Structure 1
Amino acid sequence: MNTKILMIVSSIFMMISGLGLTFVPEEISEFLNAGLNQTSILFLQILGSLYLGFGMLNWMTKNILIGGIYNRPLVVSNLAHFLVTSFALIKIAGKYTENKFPIILTLTIIYTVLTLCFEYVFMKNPNNVSGTN
């Protein structure tokens, strides 16, 4: 597996999510029927900043050796994020209405695929998984 591609894909996904949550939280909150109060908007913007920061971290580390013992904190944090979010999305996916279900299903698939990719990188020696240098 080429870890550079994995880091680029995950960083772009997180930065796009972060930009959306940061700059259009009212629209996202309204779409999800989460309520338009200041607290929910604030939490969505904070979540957006977290996604932006995590996306930038992944982007800046895309060219370094990743896997096995190399950059383990980076791999573990990505794996934890994508795994926990995948479980949350799988748990709640069936509770959304027809018009929201395709979006939640798409997010669930993306998160699950990224979880499996980071799990693979976590378990394998970087000589076998790294496509860099």
Structure 2
Amino acid sequence: MEVPYIIKGGQHTDERGQLCYNNDFDLSEVKRIYTIENWSTETIRGWQGHKIERRWFSVVSGSFKIELIAIDKWENPAKDCKLFSFELLADKLDVLCVSKGYVSKIQALERNSKLLVMADYLIGEVKDEYRFEIDYFNE
């Protein structure tokens, strides 16, 4: 299983303003996009994941903490799995790449944070959504 990784973005500032970019992210596999905005920094979305779908995450405003766990058996996953943790900021257009086989837990670290999520399947194209209680995995 591919380990999650970040494709670094960048920014340019001049007298006109600021430009954030990510020239290394290939969008050719993306079929769908949506945003997530939590009303509170106390809200934690998780654990939700996909056996066959890929996801890409990029922060549009504010910052988010995203935690990921690779799942081997989807019907009864181990509770003491390795945890990957990422903190994404809106100051550059970094993209967190998550291959199939992971569940995620997402939390805004600042008020008014917005997370862009991209997926490689359209809604209804496959049935591939798995959810676990927030305290299911030992951390």
Which TM bucket (shorter chain)?
under 0.3
TM-score, reference length from structure 1: 0.24
TM-score, reference length from structure 2: 0.24
| Greater percentage in helix | 1
| Greater percentage in strand | 2
